[in-house]
Amino acid sequence: MRDVAQNFYHKEVGNGRQTSFWFDKWSDKGRLFDLLGDRGMIDTGVRKDASLEEAVRCVRRRRKHRNVALNEIEAELNMVKEKLKHNVEDVIKWKGKAGYRESFSTSETWVMTREAYSPCSWAKGIWFSHATPKFSFITWLAMLNRLATMDRISKWSLGADTTCVLCKNAVETRDHLFFQCDYSSQRWKQLTHGILRNAHSNSWSAIITLLSDNSRGVKSTFCVRYSFQAAIYALWRERNRIKHGEKPTAIARLQKLVDKVIRNKLSLLQMQRRRGMVDGLQFWFGTRV
Residue type (1 letter), 275: R
Phi-psi category of 29—alpha, beta or left, where left has phi over 0 and alpha has psi -120 to 50?
alpha
pLDDT of residue 1: 58
What predicted TM-score, i.e. pTM, was given to this entire model?
0.67
Q: Please list the rounded mean pLDDT of every run of 10 residues in the chain (289 residues).
A: 67 76 77 82 82 75 72 79 76 78 79 79 91 97 96 91 93 96 92 93 94 89 96 96 93 93 95 91 90
pLDDT of residue 60: 61
pLDDT of residue 62: 60
pLDDT of residue 2: 59
Residue type (1 letter), 212: S
Contact 130, 274 (CB under 8 A): yes
Residues 6 or more apart whose Cβ sits within 8 Å of residue 21 = 32, 46, 50, 51, 52, 54, 55
pLDDT of residue 71: 80
pLDDT of residue 59: 57
How large is the greatest C-alpha to C-alpha distance in the chain, in angstroms? Answer: 92
Stated length of the chain: 289
